[in-house]
């Protein structure tokens, strides 16, 4: 189905799905006059997750495009895919003609720009899968999109200031993922009433706290004072997708520490390294305090202000080019596991001193318009893009 709005779900993990699937649902529900909608999915599991967010009615009304590669090519790429995202890139190349046949292509990552036809008619729209503050959030290649829909004024302001894209190609829409989730939920995950903390380390081998400090932190929860708290270990879903993590940006690679059986045996520790609960806010809504480093999920946690604790594993590293993290102003920051553990008992008492900062950075990061949800704001922007004139050439897109 060409001449459509094509949503790309080109990943092996489901963490990007909720950031754009709700927009597809909004387009279907509003009718999108004369504008067919297609969802292109990489795996059966990704399609199932998209269908869950769409709901049965909308799922029956969209077109579906299977991005799977031929079996022989999937097998050939299995080994190198453990180090680099070669399957994702090959899927794009394999289906480049179909992608460029769309009127509008919607993606939650910039890799799709690698197959954009320089003389193509398709327009490309971007919705970040998160609202984080890492340098990669402002990668200059993102200027190749015709439309960039961001969650809040913070990201829009930074994209303009850093020369990524001009203001006229940016739209502040809010956080579409929030429109796909019951934000009032708070599941009871432990049989006791002790305080619950969630530890959400990133996967980047330079920026993540897991490699050098995470195991010692989990050890603390298995003994002494730490046993008086419950811990949800809910890392970024990509952390345990690979054993070896490579950062092209920082030209470094590290082996990921595994899970100690003692942690799984501890009654006050819940460990999840791969389920959909890692991406549907089950844990960020259930916890009473957050431990993290650079993951954008901190902003999902701040939908309800609560204590924040951070492990700074990289600011002293001369290789780091990262700037200041706004979220780190809204909680306590430690340099190692022992320092962070010492901060846990008093975190709730100190929260009052951080609450105003938390609310301010959340409001700057996530725009909210009563009665006009993010998914509908995005749908309106996409329809406007679809009805515009011929697309710019990709070469005109960079604004670095």
pLDDT tens-place string over residues 204-256: 999 999 999 999 999 999 999 999 999 999 999 999 999 999 998 888 999 99
155's enclosing H/E stretch is helix 153-161
In this model, does residue 35 exceed pLDDT 90?
no
**Average pLDDT score over residue span 187-207:** 97
The confidence band for 102, taking pLDDT boundaries of 50, 70 and 90, is very high
125 φ, ψ to 5°? -120, 145
Query: Tokens 């809040």 label which residue?
Result: 152
Residue % of the chain over a pLDDT of 70 = 96
Name, in order, each residue with C-beta under 8 angstroms of 227's C-beta and a sequence gap of 6 or more.
Answer: 221, 266, 268
pLDDT at 31: 76
CB of 384 within 8 A of CB of 103? no
**What integer pLDDT is reported at residue 389 of this predicted model?**
61
Q: Is the pLDDT of residue 3 over 90?
A: no
Q: In the predicted model, what is the mean pLDDT of residues 193-213?
A: 97
Q: Is the pLDDT of residue 36 over 50?
A: yes
Positions of CATH 3.40.50.2000 in the chain: 5-175+368-396
Query: Is beta strand 104-107 parallel, antiparallel or unpaired with respect to 5-9?
Result: parallel
Phi, psi dihedral angles at 9 (to 5 degrees) = -115, 70
Look at residue 390 in the predicted model and tell me its pLDDT. Answer: 58
Residue 270 half-sphere exposure toward CB, CA atoms < 13 A: 22
With beta carbons less than 8 A apart as the criterion, state whether 239 and 256 touch: yes
> Is a pLDDT exceeding 60 seen at residue 1?
no
Instruction: Render pLDDT for 347-386 as a digit per residue (tens, 0 to 9).
Output: 999 999 999 999 999 999 999 998 999 999 999 999 999 9
CATH homologous superfamily, domain 5-175+368-396: Glycogen Phosphorylase B; (3.40.50.2000)
Mean pLDDT, the chain, whole residue set: 93
- pLDDT value for 248: 81
Using CA atoms, how far residue 294 sits from 207, 297, 344, in Å, is 7, 9, 19
pLDDT in the model for residue 359: 98
302 in helix, strand or coil? coil
Q: Is 335 exposed, middle or buried (0-12, 13-18, 19+ CB in 10 A)?
A: middle
Alpha helices (H) along 222-319? 261-265, 282-286, 297-301
Secondary structure percentages of the chain, helix, strand, coil, to 5? 40, 15, 45
Which H helix or E strand runs over 20?
Answer: helix 17-29
C-alpha to C-alpha distance for 134 and 327, rounded to whole angstroms: 11
The predicted-structure confidence for 74-100, as pLDDT tens digits, reads as follows 889 988 888 888 999 999 999 999 999
Give the residue-averaged pLDDT of 338-345: 98
CA 285 to chain centre: 16
CATH class held by domain 196-365: alpha beta
Predicted confidence band of residue 339 (pLDDT cuts 50, 70, 90): very high
| Strands 244-247, 252-255: pairing kind | antiparallel
Least confident of 66-70, 121-125, 135-139, 167-171: 135-139
Q: Is the pLDDT at 57 greater than 50, yes or no?
A: yes
Position 52 scores a pLDDT of 96
The residue among 125, 124, 152, 128 whose CA lies nearest residue 138 is: 128
Q: In the chain, which residues fall in CATH 3.40.50.12580?
A: 196-365
Between CA 310 and CA 399 the distance in angstroms is: 34
Is the pLDDT reported for residue 32 higher than 80? no
Q: What is the pLDDT of residue 393?
A: 44
| 298-307 average pLDDT score | 98
Q: What is the mean pLDDT of residues 50-66?
A: 96
In the prediction, which pLDDT does 397 show?
41
pLDDT band at 321 (very low <50, low <70, confident <90, very high): confident
Distance CA(25)–CA(53), nearest Å, equals 8
CA distance 355 to 64: 44
Is residue 284 a contact partner of residue 194, using CB atoms and an 8 Å limit?
no
Query: Average of pLDDT values for 290-315?
Result: 96
Half-sphere exposure for 110 (CA within 13 Å, toward CB):
16
Q: Judge whether 308 and 327 are in contact, CB under 8 Å.
A: yes
* Residue 193 tokens, joined: 């009433």
Choose among 306, 323, 86, 129: nearest CA to 207: 323
Model confidence band, residue 391 (pLDDT cutoffs 50, 70, 90): low
């Amino acid at each position: 189905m060409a001449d459509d709005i094509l949503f790309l779900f080109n990943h092996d993990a489901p963490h990007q799905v909720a950031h754009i699937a709700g927009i597809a649902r909004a387009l279907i529900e509003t009718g999108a006059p004369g504008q067919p909608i297609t969802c292109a999915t990489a795996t059966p599991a990704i399609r199932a997750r998209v269908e869950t967010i769409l709901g049965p009615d909308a799922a029956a009304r969209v077109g579906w495009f299977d991005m799977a590669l031929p079996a022989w090519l999937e097998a050939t790429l299995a080994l190198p895919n453990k180090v680099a995202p070669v399957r994702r890139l090959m899927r794009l190349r394999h289906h480049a003609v179909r992608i460029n046949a769309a009127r509008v292509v919607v993606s939650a990552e910039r890799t799709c720009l690698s197959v954009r036809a320089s003389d193509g008619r398709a327009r490309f729209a971007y919705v970040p899968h998160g609202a984080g503050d890492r340098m990669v959030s402002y990668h200059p290649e993102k200027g190749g999109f015709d439309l960039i829909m961001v969650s809040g004024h913070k990201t829009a302001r930074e994209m303009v200031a850093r020369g990524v894209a001009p203001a006229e190609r940016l739209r502040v829409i809010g956080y579409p993922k929030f429109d796909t989730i019951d934000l009032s939920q708070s599941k009871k995950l432990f049989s006791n009433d002790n305080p619950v903390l969630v530890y959400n380390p990133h996967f980047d081998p330079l920026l993540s706290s897991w490699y050098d400090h995470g195991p010692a932190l989990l050890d603390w929860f298995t003994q002494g004072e730490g046993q008086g708290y419950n811990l949800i270990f809910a890392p970024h879903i990509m952390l345990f997708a690979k054993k070896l993590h490579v950062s092209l940006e920082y030209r470094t690679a590290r082996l990921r520490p595994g899970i100690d059986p003692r942690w799984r045996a501890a009654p006050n520790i819940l460990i999840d390294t791969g389920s959909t609960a890692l991406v549907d806010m089950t844990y960020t809504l259930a916890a009473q305090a957050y431990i993290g480093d650079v993951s954008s999920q901190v902003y999902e946690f701040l939908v309800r202000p609560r204590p924040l604790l951070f492990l700074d594993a990289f600011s002293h590293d001369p290789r780091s080019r990262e700037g200041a993290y706004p979220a780190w102003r809204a909680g306590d920051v430690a340099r190692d596991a022992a320092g962070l553990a010492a901060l846990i008992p008093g975190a709730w008492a100190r929260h009052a001193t951080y609450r105003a900062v938390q609310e301010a950075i959340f409001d700057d990061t996530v725009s909210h318009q009563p009665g006009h949800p993010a998914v509908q704001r995005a749908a309106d922007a996409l329809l406007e893009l679809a009805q515009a004139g011929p697309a710019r050439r990709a070469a005109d897109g960079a604004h670095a």
